Structure 1
Amino acid sequence: MFRGTLLHELLHLPNYWKVVRASPDLPYPVQKIAFGDHYRQYFLIVEPAEPPLGWIIYWHGGGWQFGSPEQFQKTAHPFLDAGYGVIIPSYRRLPWNDFRTIRQDTIMALAACRNFWQSKGNPHPHVVLLGMSAGGHLASIAGLDKSILQEAGWDLAQIKGVVACGGVLDFSLMKNNPIIRLLAGHPERATYSLANPVAQIAKQTAKLPPFLLIHGTKDGMVPYEAVVSFQKCYREHSSASTCDLITMQRGTHLDAARWMFKDTLLRQNIMAKVGRWLMVDR
């Protein structure tokens, strides 16, 4: 009866956290690297036993307000099992900071990633950007806004793909959401456009990275129509790249991230696509 509402999502959040906590601990050491003076300016990094075949940068969810990389480090399991290194960034949060600060922290985190890889002798490895909910928004922004990568000292060709799970990708269908207003301000202001992934598509002249969108039709936090709108805009502006959408029939917001904690056909399909992306140009 309440499926597809915010109330339904909130009532099922404890069960989601139960699944996360029940997942096994990571089998490899977790390193914490600071990229600024604020206690939120850091990322966690985990490497498999062998040299990584590629890297995943994962931004967790939490409405740009809640959660920490430590709480979500178990999402690294499927990627470590496949031989990839994983980085989980933190950043300064709402309500004391808005998108302009979060964007700057994203640049700083990516620059610190480059410095870490450079210390390993490979400053420009292949990377897939991944995120859930608010993290899906940040992963998408980092993949679309080329100035972020350029300011961080990245080679644009490093980004082999973007995966957005339950991502906030089109603000126009969430205009009255108070969290979006807190993040990006009034729709007529420049920050709003800068923070809106769908608005970034038309601004880019370079080839866009391929996207994979995972979204439920009963998402009670981010309307399914918003991700459909993003895919439509992407396809209209970028015939050279792909933007695929995996629709989870009757899937909720939290369902979009459950595949990271259980080996299902969905997870196998996602990992296969990530693997194909990371093998490009090898």
Structure 2
Amino acid sequence: MRNHLPLPLRRRTLAGLIALMLSACKPATLLNAMIPTRQLQCFNNIAYGMSPRQRLDIYRPQSISAQPLPVILFFYGGSWDSGSKSDYLFVAEALVSRGYLVVIADYRLYPEVKFPALMQDPALAFSWVKQHIAEYSGNPDRVFLMGHSAGAQLAAMLSLNAEYLAAVNLQPQQIAGMIGLAGPYDFLPLTSARLKAIFAPEASEWTSQPIRFVNGHNPPMLLLVGLRDKVVWPRNTFNLATSIQTHGGPVQVIDYATYDHVDMVAKLAKPLRGQSTLLDDIVQWMQQPG
């Protein structure tokens, strides 16, 4: 039967249907099932350490140019105690479709590790990428960090507190740029027993806050936030950006008036991004000189 709905109405209807389906099942499972993979070349479960969780997946376009590709190392969220790289195929497809090589890393989670040991795997993953990504047609001199939610906190800490990369003989200035989606950067006081356990002891909780390590010498940072986020309050983004600006560091903020916490990553998925500027905003920022 022919669809007689006007195209804008059809798009709104599709978006509503997807939103309904997302609410009824695991969002990533549905989004990944709707992702075209014919243009993706995948290298799965590459070890960057000895632990079973120290594994990463690499995604690149099927057609590779002679020039090495800029790289995005993505850290997913999950409250520091859950998550899997296999859930984020839709993120990889979005960024690969714009000509980037994408690395998605698993990392050890609470209760296996607590902060600050949580930072060891992100640093190791970045070190592995710098050393080996040229073997996969990536440019080791153009490696961006990107994260959503807890993953954005990890990426921000690598960008702002030099001690974690120093442990792998690197420094934040070797990060081409950091993209944070709905990140917790200034989230004290801790309000749940689980968070208090992850970031214990209380006397050192402040060391988990990216905002406490701003000195103006950070790599360029793009902080994106949904104003309807009730999981990570938008003030985290605005407070961090203000501190970086005050110290003279490079930062840009983009806010989305109607987006909530999940939207800030789900809008990258092909079924949803046609009505969103999120992917365009990220790519435009990464393409800026310097």
Distance in 2 (alpha carbons) for counterparts of 1:14 and 1:254:
14
Higher relative contact order (CA 8 A, sep 6+): 1
Instruction: Tell me, yes or no, if structure 1 residue 235 matches structure 2 residue 245.
Output: yes
Q: What is the aligned partner in structure 2 of residue 214 from structure 1?
A: 224
Q: What is the aligned partner in structure 1 of residue 260 from structure 2?
A: 252
Give the conservation status (yes or no) of the 8 Å contact 2:181–2:223: yes
Q: What is the aligned partner in structure 2 of residue 44 from structure 1?
A: 57
Distance in 2 (alpha carbons) for counterparts of 1:183 and 1:148:
18
- Written as runs of structure 1 = structure 2, the 5 A alignment for 1:45-194 is 45-48=58-61, 49-50=63-64, 51-117=67-133, 119=135, 124-154=140-170, 156-172=172-188, 174-189=189-204, 192-194=205-207
Give the conservation status (yes or no) of the 8 Å contact 1:115–1:123: no
Structure 1 residues 183-242: Cα deviation after superposition (integer angstroms, max 9, x where no partner): 2114422xx2332111121xx4x72112111112221211112222111222122x1x33
2:41 to 25, 28, 34: 28
- How many residues end up aligned between the 2 structures? 260
What is the percentage of aligned positions where both structures have the same residue? 23
Give the conservation status (yes or no) of the 8 Å contact 2:159–2:172: no
Letter in 2 for 1:185: A
Unaligned runs of 5+ in 1: 1-10
Deviation of the 1:163 alpha carbon = 0.8
Deviation of the 1:260 alpha carbon = 1.4
Deviation above 4 Å: which 4+ runs of structure 1? 118-123
- Written as runs of structure 1 = structure 2, the 5 A alignment for 1:4-19 is 12=23, 14=25, 16-17=27-28, 18-19=30-31
Q: Secondary structure at the match of 2:102?
A: strand
Distance in 1 (alpha carbons) for counterparts of 2:43 and 2:252:
32
TM-score by length of 2: 0.80
Give the conservation status (yes or no) of the 8 Å contact 2:148–2:183: yes
Cα distance change on mapping 1:175 and 1:47 into 2, 3 Å: same
Deviation of the 1:180 alpha carbon = 2.8
Q: Secondary structure at the match of 1:111?
A: helix
Deviation of the 1:96 alpha carbon = 2.8
* Larger displacement relative to structure 2 (216-225 or 121-130): 121-130
Unaligned runs of 5+ in 2: 1-21
- RMSD between superposed Cα atoms in Å: 2.5
Structure 1 residues 241-267: Cα deviation after superposition (integer angstroms, max 9, x where no partner): 332222221421111112311243232
